Amino acid sequence: MMQDTPLSQLIKRLSRLPGLGPRSAQRAALHLLRHRDTQMMQLAMELEQVARQYKSCNTCGNLDLHDICSICSDNRRDAKRICVLEDIADLWAMERAGIFSGHYHILGGTLNALDGIGPEDLGISKLITRIEQVTSSLATPQQLEIILATSATVDGQTTAHYIAERLKSMPVQISRLAHGVPVGGEVNYLDDGTLAQAMKARTRL
């Protein structure tokens, strides 16, 4: 086995990516080396470009080529709706689905006492400052809706509850995503929690 060669260092770095282990990093490196000119050089260039060009949006935490991202600066979007998400991948999922035309706020994670992630790590004061700024610019601040769209996991729900608690005194509407049977889901495969929520929130036909 090659010790501390450039190739072994590359494999070590690839193996630190989420979703890749030592074996798959080896396979990926060999695959790249087999396509040195068409793939590997391109990948190197693209990585370098993206690392250099992309910035975190100061307002919402999205990643974009500009400091105020294309979503925050888009006048056609509804500034009276802010959807609070855990991660940028969640934002991509929302945009892919094309179901929301408001603004976003990326927390960058969830509250987790074990991992030592507290409200300050998620920039929740920044979210509150942002909400204050938006409400002060509105004639009727009650128009502003904050949609808490964290995951339906224990950590995600804890985070949503914490934020809802912090926003209680503010003159805004707070909502969360509905729970229920996922589209295409079979009832007999659903967990009890989902089933209970789906029953509780049943709608009249």
Does residue 54 touch a copy of itself according to CB under 8 A? yes
C-alpha to C-alpha distance for 80 and 194, rounded to whole angstroms: 30
We find the least distance from the C-beta atom of residue 106 to a copy of itself, in angstroms, to be 11
Does residue 58 touch a copy of itself according to CB under 8 A? no
Tell me the site size for a copy of itself, rule CB under 8 A. 48
Could you count the other beta carbons within 10 Å of the beta carbon of residue 107? 25
Give yes or no for a contact between 58 and 67, defined as CB atoms under 8 angstroms apart.
Answer: yes
We find the least distance from the C-beta atom of residue 76 to a copy of itself, in angstroms, to be 17
The DSSP-derived string for 75-94 is TTSEEEEEEEES-HHHHHHH
C-alpha to C-alpha distance for 177 and 84, rounded to whole angstroms: 11
Contact mark string toward a copy of itself, 24..43, x via CB under 8 A: x-xxxxxxxx--xx-xxxxx
Which one of the spans 5-13, 111-119, 160-168, 197-205 is the region binding a copy of itself (CB under 8 A)?
A: 5-13
Residue 145 DSSP class: E
Q: Helix axis angle, 124-137 relative to 154-167, nearest 10°? A: 40
Residue (3 or 169) nearer to a copy of itself, CB: 3
Q: Helix axis angle, 6-15 relative to 22-34, nearest 10°? A: 130
Which one of the spans 7-15, 121-129, 158-166, 191-199 is the region binding a copy of itself (CB under 8 A)?
A: 7-15
Site for a copy of itself in 62-81 (CB under 8 A): 63, 65
Give yes or no for a contact between 166 and 111, defined as CB atoms under 8 angstroms apart.
Answer: no
Which one of the spans 21-29, 145-153, 158-166, 189-197 is the region binding a copy of itself (CB under 8 A)?
A: 21-29
Chain positions contacting a copy of itself, by CB under 8 A: 1-2, 5-7, 9-10, 13-14, 16-20, 24, 26-33, 36-37, 39-51, 53-54, 63, 65, 87-89, 92, 95-96
